[in-house]
Amino acid sequence: MIMTNLLKLSAASIAIFLALATGTGVLCQSKIGTSKNRGYRSITIDTQPAATVFVDGVRFGKTGKDGVLEIKTIATGSHLIKVRADGFAEQSVPLPATRKGSLKVTLKKTNDEAELAFQEAERLALVDRDKAIAAYKNAIKLRPSMVEAYIALARNYTEAGDYDSAAKAIADVRKVKPGLAEASAVEGRIFKESGYEDKAIASFKRAITEGRGFQPEAYAGLGLLYKEKAEGFGGAGDFDQESANYAESLKYLEKSIKQLSGAPDSIVIYQLVGLIYEREERFDDAIALYQEFLQIFPDTPEATAVRSFITQIKKRQNDR
């Protein structure tokens, strides 16, 4: 019963993750390292205070009052750093594979009405979805080619349960930028939330193809979808199908973790994967995963629970 409740709680958290993992950033088409040893390096972003920092379209957090954010889990390879701050024009800079230490990202003040409208919408999205939707529409009116606004509009409509309007926003953004991986990932979520499982799977897989294999949101969506299928089979007593669908879920969730490369939004997926490992009695895998979690997120509120999970698993192993 405890395990079932934890899995359901994590599923709800992942639904939030699907909306927030990439913010409204468009994912670039580079791969984050996927080896078991991630080969992480540390990069300190130096820019405006309270600026949001993305790596390959994945949100890694905000800078402090000093304008600094240290990211300790930059994976091997080249990446794209994107920085947003209210009142400033968005800036993207490449991060070479050999770069370590500090990276200065200089932002310039903006008077661009469309960009300012988009920033207003982003602020409103945290407090008033209806006003945010209106602000995103205004940003699109001011700049019909603003891809980020269409994507954010679709996400907000999905959160509001207005799936028809969300689908229209995705159709509109595809006219502006065909083949956009993030659009297909959001479309997958729209289909999933509205009960069209097969279409959701097709859209998530399309997103992965369009992203050339890099699309952590789509992998997370597929993982959650197959997890829910596993729970359904388990509830019906079909344990072979339950196990098969858990295996399919793990395949996608593990890929999402690797591609998120230590981003804060991977916290809930780490826990969900660990809980499925426990459910499938893959105890050594669960311990290894939780230990990796603690290396990356030692000071998070979830760390205490994860340490408890490890203790409980080891006790179960000793009692067998």
Distances in whole angstroms, Cα of residue 148 to Cα of each of 89, 125, 182: 14, 14, 10
The total of other beta-carbon atoms located within 10 Å of residue 59's CB is 21
* 40-109 shares the fold of 1-21+212-320: no
CA-wise closest residue to 20 among 301, 248, 260, 249? 260
The total of other beta-carbon atoms located within 10 Å of residue 311's CB is 10
On the question of pLDDT at 2 being above 80, the answer is no
Has this prediction a pTM greater than 0.75?
Answer: yes
Task: Tell me the mean pLDDT in the region 198-202.
Answer: 98
On the question of pLDDT at 19 being above 50, the answer is no
Range in 24-28, 45-49, 81-85, 223-227 with the lowest mean pLDDT = 24-28
Provide the CATH number for the domain formed by 40-109 in this structure. Answer: 2.60.40.1120
Please write the tens of the pLDDT for every residue from 84-97: 999 999 999 999 98
Q: Where are the domains of the chain?
A: 1-21+212-320, 40-109
**Is 1-21+212-320 a CATH 1.25.40 domain?**
yes
On the question of pLDDT at 308 being above 70, the answer is yes
CA distance 146 to 177: 10
Please write the tens of the pLDDT for every residue from 107-140: 999 999 999 999 999 999 999 999 999 999 999 9
Please write the tens of the pLDDT for every residue from 230-286: 999 999 999 999 999 999 999 999 999 999 999 998 999 999 999 999 999 999 999
